[in-house]
Amino acid sequence: MQQSVTARGPIGARARHSRSPAIWLLLPTLVSMVGLVVYPLARGFYTSLTTSFFLSNQAVFAGFKNYAILLHNPVFWMVVWHGLVWTAGVVLGQLIFGFVGALILNQPIWGQAIFQSVTFIPWIMPGVAAGLLWSLMYDPTFGLVGNLQHFWGFSSIAYLSNVHTSMAAVVVAAIWKGTPFTILMMLAGLQTVDTAVTEAARIDGASWFKVIRHAVIPQVAPVVRTTALFITVWTFNYFDMIYVMTNGGPVNSTQIFPTYVYQLAFGQLDYGLGTAAGILSLVVVGIIAALFIFELARQGALD
Amino acid sequence: MGAAAILKKGGQYLGIILLLAFFVTPLAWMVSTSFKSAAEIYTANGPFFPTHWTLKNYQVAFAAGLGRMFVNSTIVAVSTTVVSLLFAVLSSYAVSRLIFRGRRMILVSMILSQLIPLSVLIVPIYQIMARLNLLDQFPSLVIAYLTFSIPVAVWFLRSFFLSVSPEIEEAARVDGCSLFQAFMRVVIPLIVPGLAATGIYVFVTVWQELMFAITFLTTPAKYTLPAGVILFIGQHGTNYGAVMAAATVMSIPPSVLFLLMQKRLISGFASAGGIK
pLDDT > 70 fraction of chain A, expressed in percent and rounded: 91
Q: What residues form DSSP beta bridges with A61?
A: A50
User: Which positions ≥6 away from B214 have C-beta within 8 Å?
Assistant: B226, B227, B230, B231
On whether both B118 and B251 belong to a single domain, the answer is yes
pLDDT, average across residues B206-227: 94
Closest A-chain CA to B251: A125
The model's confidence at residue A290, banded by pLDDT at 50, 70 and 90, is confident
pLDDT in tens, A129-140: 999 999 999 988
Task: Return the CATH number at B209.
Answer: 1.10.3720.10
Cβ contact A133–B247 (<8 Å): yes
Phi and psi torsions of A51, nearest 5°: -115, 130
| Closest in A121, A136, A288 to B244, CB measured | A136
Domain assignment present for residue B47? The answer is no
Rounded to whole angstroms, the Cα distance separating B199 from B156 reads 10
pLDDT > 70 fraction of chain B, expressed in percent and rounded: 93
Omega before B253 within 30 of 0, i.e. cis:
no
Distances (CA, A) of A15 to A4, A8, A303, B94: 11, 9, 15, 12
Q: What pLDDT is stored for residue B165 in this prediction?
A: 81
In angstroms, the separation between the Cα of residue B274 and the nearest Cα of chain A is: 5
On whether both B156 and B204 belong to a single domain, the answer is yes
| Closest in A23, A126, A137 to B251, CB measured | A126
Show the CA angle centred on residue B232, arms to residues B250 and A137, nearest 5°.
60
Q: What pLDDT is stored for residue A97 in this prediction?
A: 92
* Whether residue A179 has pLDDT greater than 90: yes
On whether both B61 and B9 belong to a single domain, the answer is no
On whether both B197 and B107 belong to a single domain, the answer is yes
Q: For residue B34, which amino acid is it? A: S
**Best residue in A2, A25, A292 for a mutation probing chain B (most B CBs within 10 Å):** A25
Closest CA to B140 of B151, B127, B153: B127
| Closest in B46, B98, B119 to A257, CB measured | B119
pLDDT in tens, A251-273: 999 999 999 999 999 998 889 99
* C-beta of residue B250 within 8 angstroms of C-beta of residue A240: no
On whether both B8 and B81 belong to a single domain, the answer is no
On whether both B27 and B161 belong to a single domain, the answer is no
Cβ contact B23–A243 (<8 Å): no
Cβ contact B113–A125 (<8 Å): no
Closest CA to B239 of B80, B88, B38, B79: B38
Give the domain ranges of chain A.
Answer: 74-299
Helices (H) and strands (E) in chain B, counts: 14, 0
The model's confidence at residue B38, banded by pLDDT at 50, 70 and 90, is confident
Helix H or strand E segment including A51:
strand A50-52
| Closest in B125, B243, B244 to A40, CB measured | B125
On whether both B19 and B142 belong to a single domain, the answer is no
On whether both B204 and B245 belong to a single domain, the answer is yes
Greater confidence, B265 or B95? Answer: B95
- Using CB atoms within 10 A of its CB, is residue B177 exposed (0-12), middle (13-18) or buried (19+)? middle
pLDDT in tens, A89-124: 999 999 999 999 888 888 777 777 777 788 889 999
**Best residue in A6, A30, A31, A32 for a mutation probing chain B (most B CBs within 10 Å):** A32
* C-beta of residue B122 within 8 angstroms of C-beta of residue A271: no
Domain assignment present for residue B261? The answer is yes
Domain assignment present for residue B135? The answer is yes
Q: For residue A145, which amino acid is it? A: V
3-class secondary structure, A60: strand
**Best residue in B9, B23, B187 for a mutation probing chain A (most A CBs within 10 Å):** B23
pLDDT, average across residues B43-70: 90
Q: What residues form DSSP beta bridges with A51?
A: A60
Domain assignment present for residue B51? The answer is no
Q: What pLDDT is stored for residue A16 in this prediction?
A: 45
In angstroms, the separation between the Cα of residue B275 and the nearest Cα of chain A is: 6
3-class secondary structure, A59: strand
| Closest in A22, A126, A281 to B254, CB measured | A126
On whether both B196 and B129 belong to a single domain, the answer is yes
Distance of CA A5 to the CA centre of its chain: 34
3-class secondary structure, A63: coil
Percent helix, strand, coil in chain B, to 5, is: 80, 0, 20
Domain assignment present for residue B237? The answer is yes
* Whether residue B275 has pLDDT greater than 60: no
User: Which positions ≥6 away from A39 have C-beta within 8 Å?
Assistant: B124, B128
**What residues of B are in contact with residue A124 (Cβ under 8 Å)?**
204, 254-255, 258
Cβ contact A147–B45 (<8 Å): yes
Cβ contact A121–B112 (<8 Å): no
Closest CA to B206 of A126, A37, A40, A238: A126
Q: What is the DSSP string of A279-300?
A: HHHHHHHHHHHHHHHHHHHHHT
Domain assignment present for residue B188? The answer is yes
A151-182 as b/e: b if 16+ CB within 10 A: eeeeebbbbbeeeebbbebbbbbbbbbbbbbb
pLDDT, average across residues A63-84: 93
Domain assignment present for residue B66? The answer is yes
The model's confidence at residue B102, banded by pLDDT at 50, 70 and 90, is confident
3-class secondary structure, A50: strand
| Strands A50-52 and A59-61, sheet pairing | antiparallel
**What residues of A are in contact with residue B211 (Cβ under 8 Å)?**
239-240, 243, 258, 262
* ipTM for the whole complex: 0.90
Average pLDDT, chain A: 85
**What residues of A are in contact with residue B106 (Cβ under 8 Å)?**
26, 30
| Closest in B30, B99, B208 to A133, CB measured | B30
Q: What is the DSSP string of B193-222?
A: HHHHHHHHHHHHHHHT--HHHHHH--SGGG
| Closest in B19, B179, B254 to A104, CB measured | B19
Closest B-chain CA to A228: B273
Q: What pLDDT is stored for residue A55 in this prediction?
A: 59
Cα maximum dimension of chain A: 76
The model's confidence at residue B233, banded by pLDDT at 50, 70 and 90, is low
Q: Domain count for chain B, please give it.
A: 2
Closest A-chain CA to B103: A4
**Residues of the domain holding B9:** 3-41
pLDDT in tens, A42-65: 999 999 999 876 556 677 888 899
On whether both B224 and B195 belong to a single domain, the answer is yes
User: Which positions ≥6 away from B234 have C-beta within 8 Å?
Assistant: A132, A244, B243
Fold of A74-299: MetI-like fold (1.10.3720)
Long-range contacts: A289-292, Cβ < 8 Å, 24+? Answer: A289/A233, A289/B111, A289/B112, A289/B115, A291/A229, A292/A229, A292/A233, A292/B111, A292/B115
**What residues of B are in contact with residue A33 (Cβ under 8 Å)?**
109-110, 113, 150-151
On whether both B16 and B61 belong to a single domain, the answer is no
**What residues of B are in contact with residue A176 (Cβ under 8 Å)?**
22-23, 26
SS3 string, A78-107, reads HHHHHHHHHHHHHHHHHHHHHHHHHHHHHC
Domain assignment present for residue B25? The answer is yes
Helices (H) and strands (E) in chain A, counts: 14, 2
